[in-house]
């Protein structure tokens, strides 16, 4: 499936897009809503797919980092 955008280039072919994907793959950046839509267009995945994967990774990472719950300070009334 060779889709082109209005400028005539294929989705995902810009150096900026490729740099952003590289940062995500190397763990230096997270998937944003904008990037999810760009990946959806470039790869033909469903909209929201990459954000759901990012949310699962964030939850897993938080669980690994949490040795024990942080103490919660009570607010005086």
Kindly report the backbone phi and psi dihedral angles of residue 8, in degrees, each rounded to the nearest multiple of 5, phi listed first: 90, 0
In this predicted structure, the answer to whether residue 6 has a pLDDT above a threshold of 90 is no
**Cα separations (Å) of 24 from 2, 60, 61?**
24, 16, 15
Which residues lie below 8 Å from residue 33, measured CB to CB, with a gap of 6+?
Answer: 51
Task: Kindly state the tokens that stand for 21.
Answer: 């994907």
Owning domain of residue 53: 1-77
pLDDT attached to residue 53: 97
Model confidence at 60, pLDDT cuts 50, 70, 90, reads: very high
Q: What is the CATH number of the domain that holds 31?
A: 1.10.260.40
Q: How many domains does the chain have?
A: 1
| pLDDT tens profile 64-76 | 888 767 788 889 8
């Amino acid at each position: 499936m060779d889709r082109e955008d209005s400028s005539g280039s294929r989705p995902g072919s810009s150096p900026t897009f490729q740099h952003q994907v590289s940062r995500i793959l190397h763990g230096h950046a997270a998937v944003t809503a904008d990037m999810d839509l760009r990946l959806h267009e470039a790869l033909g995945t469903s909209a929201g797919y990459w954000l759901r994967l990012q949310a699962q990774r964030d939850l897993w990472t938080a669980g690994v980092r949490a040795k024990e719950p942080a103490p919660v300070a009570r607010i005086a009334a």
